[in-house]
Amino acid sequence: MQHGYTETDKSISLCLGIYRYGFIIERFRKQALQMFDEVIYLIKQGEESQSEEGFPIPAQETSRDVFANEKSIRGNEFYMASQSGYTLEVMFEVYTLDYEGETVIEYESKRYRIVRTYERKQDEITELICRVYGSGLIS
């Protein structure tokens, strides 16, 4: 009596394993692509300076677009912020590698101030918790 797998059984098992592994990767890839379906502009504000003559030089802004996922503010965070006197509007998820300490986001013709960030190390995503910046409207 022979125990174990035949060569055909091993080949079938290997093919099924490769198929399952490929299926899992494809499924993960689709989830990742679906997750980041919005484009936001991360804006870094420079510092105001002075010319040699002593005149103020306005701060320069630099912006770049990144893919993000728009999320709702969690209930407890929303209520804690309102007790502190401000309203949180929206949260964006971005890849941690894409975030470089910017303080303002532009999204759908509105500007948001980044109030807090939270880096999720397990999936290399950073949450950007935001409130409306000024009037929020872009002139």
pLDDT at res. 103 = 94
- Considering the domain architecture, whether residues 27 and 40 belong to the same structural domain is answered as no
Give the range among 21-35, 45-59, 64-78, 116-130 with minimum mean pLDDT.
Answer: 21-35
- Considering the domain architecture, whether residues 113 and 69 belong to the same structural domain is answered as yes
Stronger pLDDT, 78 or 119, i.e. the higher one: 119
- Considering the domain architecture, whether residues 52 and 12 belong to the same structural domain is answered as no
Q: What residue numbers bound the domain in which 11 lies?
A: 1-35
Structural domains counted in the chain: 2
| Helices and strands, counts by H and E, the chain | 2, 8
* Rounded Cα gap, residues 70 and 91, in angstroms: 6
For 84-138, write each residue's pLDDT tens digit: 667 778 899 999 999 999 999 999 999 999 998 999 988 889 999 988 877 555 5
- Considering the domain architecture, whether residues 11 and 78 belong to the same structural domain is answered as no
* Rounded Cα gap, residues 82 and 130, in angstroms: 13
Write out 46-90 in H/E/C secondary structure.
Answer: CCCEECCCCCEECCCEEEEEEEEEEECCCHHHHHHHHHCCCCCCE
